[in-house]
Amino acid sequence: MTDPLPSHEAQPLTVDSIVATAPAIPLHGPVAGELFYELEKQKLEIERLTLVNAGVRQDAAHRHNWGKNLFPVCAGWIVTVAAILVLEGFHVRGFHLDNSVLIAFIGTTTANVLGLGYIVVNYLFPKPQ
């Protein structure tokens, strides 16, 4: 059968007891080279993950700023179009635009707002890879 686990109550676990039971690792030769390689590989992986995390944090901050700043721009743009339509519809203070100018204004403004919104929303909420 299996032997029961040794009890630590008889001998307390200390740094000296751990060091005393640790296998001796040579400071030269193939074993040391493999250890050095593994440590360097782990260090570079930690550095890579640190950079990835910094990039994710930076993307989140940019997305927050873009989302917060884009909404007033789009809302203002749409309010301006609505105000011009009201001015044109009720001829406030003699305001008048030619039909072709009004159609071009509404069409391009709508395309600009929708295009800008689409681009930013695709940046804010990218599709999973």
What is the residue extent of each domain of the chain? 28-124
% pLDDT > 90, the chain: 39
CA atoms within 13 A on the CB side of 45: 6
pLDDT tens-digit profile of 63-89? 888 888 888 988 898 899 999 999 999
Answer whether 90's CB lies under 8 Å from 54's CB.
no
| Residue, of 123 and 13, whose pLDDT is higher | 123
Q: Determine the Cα–Cα distance for residues 126 and 43; give it in Å rounded to an integer.
A: 31
pLDDT tens-digit profile of 6-34? 555 556 667 666 666 656 666 666 777 78
Q: Determine the Cα–Cα distance for residues 59 and 64; give it in Å rounded to an integer.
A: 8
Element (H, E) at 125: none
What are the residues whose beta carbons fall under 8 Å from the beta carbon of 120, sequence distance 6 or more? 66, 67, 70
Answer whether 124's CB lies under 8 Å from 63's CB.
yes
What pLDDT sits at residue 26? 62
